[in-house]
Amino acid sequence: MPWYKLNDLNAELLALRSCFAGQTDIVHFLDGEHSPLFLPRLVRLARLSNVRIVVTFHQPPRIARDVVNRDLLRWVDHVVLVSPSQVPFFVEYVPEDRLHVILHGIDVEFFRPPARAQDTGAFRCITVGHWLRDWNVLCQIVGALPQLRFDVVTGTEAGLSGFDNVHIHRGIDDGSLAELYRSADVLLLPLTDSTANNALLEGMASGLPVVATDLPAVRAYLPEGGVLVPDNSTEGFVSALQSLRQDISARRAMGQNSRARAEELAWPRVVREYEALYAKVLGG
């Protein structure tokens, strides 16, 4: 497990002590690509049959192949995936009855649309994040649309600093991020791959129409309410943004669909799925 770090070992030792003390029924590793290296097999070898192990994995199959310890999976009771697109990889190593797809949740109270529509004059696109982003395509989009403003929230050097229509935001707090979403007209996400995507959910909860790469995971989270561009076509992105810039009613309708879908994925609803899973884990 190349992503396993010293703090992961420390967390496993603390959890293992709780297991041996009889204080724990379920150990749920929320980041399976990083953290569960020793505890699952030690719990089984120690015959702690009352302790159940649940692990959530986040990465798409092409990355999971390199970072997931397949041998580890046989020591795990249940696996949670955040996108149906992960199933074909994990079903090779985990029985289907131990695989569960639970979509990622979002705080729809914190990330919300503006109280009233804002008209700043400039058409603003927001892009957030760094992992699995197609920066080359984004640069092409920005260059093709100099009349649009692009707010880019990332800690990555994305090659965008030379564009006058780009404002790069680094190290901003959550409140400032939420305000940026509310001031934008569209969420723009050129991606190389995806499972769950926080930026997608945050933009949806903020009531933004979405223009993103057409990927199975994106469709799982946003079955309608967005423009999904096949093959990361620069022309497709440019055409979609130009169309939305001119069609306010379409932007509003798409934004309302985005918000409605985000409300379906609000954490209080997603939590009920985890409660049902934990009841099943303890019952079996």
Beta bridge partner(s), residue 78: 54
Q: What is the count of structural domains for the chain?
A: 2
Structure tokens of 125? 């696109």
Helix (H) or strand (E) holding 272, with range, is helix 267-283
* 99 shares its domain with 196: no
- Segments forming the whole domain that contains residue 155: 124-264
What's the confidence (pLDDT) of residue 147?
A: 95
Residue 113 in domain: no
* 271 shares its domain with 231: no
* 130 shares its domain with 197: yes
Separation of alpha carbons 81 and 102, rounded Å: 6
Low-confidence ranges of the chain (pLDDT < 50): none
Residue 244 in domain: yes
Separation of alpha carbons 146 and 37, rounded Å: 49
Instruction: Please tell me whether residue 7 adopts helix, strand or coil conformation.
Output: helix
CATH no. for residue 57? 3.40.50.2000
What's the confidence (pLDDT) of residue 122?
A: 84
Output the CA–CA distances (angstroms, integers) from residue 283 to 50, 54, 74, 244, in the order listed: 11, 14, 19, 50
Residue 128 in domain: yes
What's the confidence (pLDDT) of residue 284?
A: 59
What's the confidence (pLDDT) of residue 157?
A: 86
The predicted-structure confidence for 93-140, as pLDDT tens digits, reads as follows 999 999 999 999 999 999 999 987 766 678 999 999 999 999 999 999
Cβ contact 232:190 at 8 Å: yes
* 241 shares its domain with 273: no
Separation of alpha carbons 116 and 102, rounded Å: 33
Residue 112 in domain: no
